[in-house]
Structure 1
Amino acid sequence: MEFDSFLQSVKQQKKPANLSSQLEALWYDGIGNWKKAHDLADGPADQLSARVHAYLHRKEGDQWNADYWYRRSGETRPSCSLQEEWELLVRRILDIQ
Structure 2
Amino acid sequence: MNHATFKQSLSADTPPNDASVYLQALWYDSKGDWDKSHELIQDLPDADAAWIHAYLHRKEGDIWNADYWYRRASRKRLSVSLDEEWEQITAALLAR
Counterpart for residue 77 of structure 1: 77
Please give the alpha-carbon distance, in whole angstroms, between the structure 1 residues aligned to 2:47 and 2:15: 24
Residue of structure 2 equivalent to 1:47: 47
Q: Alpha-carbon deviation of 1:71?
A: 0.2
Runs of 4+ in 1 over 3 A off after TM superposition: none
Alignment of 1:61-72 (within 5 A): 61-72=61-72
The count of aligned residue pairs is 96
Give the superposed CA RMSD.
0.9
SS state at 2:77 partner: coil
Letter in 2 for 1:75: R
Cα distance in structure 2, aligned partners of 1:11 and 1:88: 20
Point out where structure 1 has 5 or more consecutive residues left out of the alignment. none
Matched with 2:93 is 93
AA aligned to 1:10 is: L
Alignment identity in percent? 49
Q: Provide the TM-score with structure 2 as the length reference.
A: 0.95
Structure 2: runs of 5 or more not aligned: none
Asked whether the equivalents of residues 13 and 31 of structure 1 are also in contact (C-alpha less than 8 Å), the reply is: no
Which whole-Å deviations, capped at 9, do the CAs of 1:47-87 have from their partners, x for residues lacking one? 11100000000001000000000000000001100000001
